């Protein structure tokens, strides 16, 4: 396994999903870095993609429709990347509308809890100012806590207030995996399991996820992601080969929120697996 700069990137985020660059700034960076093919995969929204698709001209970087969808499988919150879909398909439009409503509900609850726990008035409204046109997420509340001098860093905010098991970690009723995959298929899209080792499943449980993902029409898995080790990389190659799944790669770039991630930088794809971009229509 070797990490290097790639000519594509299928997993990066803008300010719409907690990054520190606007979609337009991210597109400029992709062009500057010489990415031939890339996808903006904000969490549960395609607002940034639609803006770029409507206004992007005179560029050598081909933008593929993308989004990172939250769902639940076996009691675990998963992220599924969807690529090359029709953004006007009714199934995808409905799913994204529900996802936004769920995220708004969560943000308002976090705002209420912030007001009660930290005595910070109008927390939701203040987080909205930091998120711009997007629904505020936990990183926006973390930035709010930094701005108010409550914590010194986002890491501290998550450790004390927003991380797993803390009062700011509000659970949502996300859709099931099959529902999400059905919406992606109905929009002629390609679905990919995002960062499979992020969920810290046992090998047995991850195999079961891959089996169910494949049976419901899933097409690929992120193999080449930052911080994957050689053992995980080799194990996953074998599992993808066994199921005929394609491989994907991406930086999971979130701007300042992930200083270790750089656009276009991640491990190389495996030579014996089909790259997910070969499944794209690219029309």
Q: What is the CATH number of the domain that holds 272?
A: 3.20.20.140
Whether residue 30 lies inside any domain: the answer is: yes
- Separation in Å, CA 7 to CA 147, 241, 265: 37, 24, 9
Cα distance between residue 170 and residue 102, in whole Å? 11
| Per-position DSSP letters for 55-69, written without gaps between them | H--S-SSEEEPEEEE
Q: Which residues contact 58 (CB under 8 A, 6 or more apart)?
A: none
3-state SS class at 80: strand
CB 135 within 8 Å of CB 107: yes
Tokens representing 188 are 């002629």
Cα distance between residue 231 and residue 233, in whole Å? 5
Looking at residue 41, the DSSP 8-state letter turns out to be -
| Per-position DSSP letters for 139-199, written without gaps between them | HHHHHHHHHTTS-SSHHHHIIIIISTTSTT-----PPBHHHHHHHHHHTT-EEEE-SGGGG
Cα distance between residue 35 and residue 8, in whole Å? 5
Tally the domains of the chain.
Answer: 1
Would you give per-residue pLDDT tens digits along the chain (283 residues)?
A: 667 789 999 999 886 555 567 888 899 999 999 999 999 999 999 999 999 988 876 678 899 999 999 999 999 999 999 999 999 999 999 999 999 999 999 999 999 999 999 999 999 999 999 887 778 989 899 999 999 999 999 899 999 999 989 999 998 889 999 999 999 999 999 999 999 999 999 999 999 999 999 999 999 999 999 989 999 999 999 999 999 999 999 999 887 767 778 899 999 999 999 999 999 997 5
Cα distance between residue 59 and residue 24, in whole Å? 12
> Residues in the chain, how many?
283
Closest CA to 196 of 224, 177, 175: 224
Whether residue 160 lies inside any domain: the answer is: no
Closest CA to 222 of 65, 11, 67, 12: 11
pTM: 0.89
Cα distance between residue 205 and residue 123, in whole Å? 39
Domain that holds residue 51: 3-96+189-279
Whether residue 125 lies inside any domain: the answer is: no
End-to-end CA distance of the chain: 32
Whether residue 83 lies inside any domain: the answer is: yes
Whether residue 149 lies inside any domain: the answer is: no
Cα distance between residue 96 and residue 99, in whole Å? 5
Cα distance between residue 154 and residue 30, in whole Å? 26
Whether residue 105 lies inside any domain: the answer is: no
């Amino acid at each position: 396994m070797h990490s290097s700069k790639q000519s594509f990137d299928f997993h990066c985020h803008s300010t719409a999903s907690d990054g520190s660059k606007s979609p337009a700034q991210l597109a400029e960076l992709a062009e500057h870095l010489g990415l031939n093919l890339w996808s903006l995969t904000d969490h549960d929204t395609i607002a940034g993609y639609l803006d770029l698709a409507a206004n992007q001209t005179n560029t050598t970087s081909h933008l593929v429709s993308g989004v990172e969808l939250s769902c639940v499988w076996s009691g675990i919150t998963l992220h599924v990347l969807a690529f090359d879909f029709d953004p006007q398909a009714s199934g995808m439009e409905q799913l994204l509308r529900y996802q936004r409503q769920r995220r708004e509900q969560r943000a308002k609850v976090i705002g209420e809890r912030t007001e009660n726990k930290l005595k910070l008035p109008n927390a939701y409204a203040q987080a909205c100012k930091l998120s711009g046109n997007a629904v505020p997420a936990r990183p926006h509340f973390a930035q709010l806590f930094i701005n108010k001098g409550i914590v010194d860093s986002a890491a501290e905010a998550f450790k004390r207030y927003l991380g797993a098991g803390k009062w700011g970690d509000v659970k949502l009723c996300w859709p099931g995996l099959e529902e999400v995959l059905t919406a992606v298929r109905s929009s002629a899209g390609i679905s990919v399991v995002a960062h499979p080792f992020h969920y810290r499943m046992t090998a047995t449980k991850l195999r079961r996820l891959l089996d169910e993902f494949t049976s419901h029409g899933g097409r690929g898995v992120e193999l080449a992601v930052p911080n994957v080790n050689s053992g995980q990389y080799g194990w996953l190659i074998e599992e993808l080969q066994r199921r005929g799944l394609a491989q994907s790669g991406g930086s999971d770039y979130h701007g300042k929120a992930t200083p270790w991630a750089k656009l276009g930088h991640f491990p190389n794809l495996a030579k014996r697996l089909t790259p997910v971009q070969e499944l794209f229509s690219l029309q």
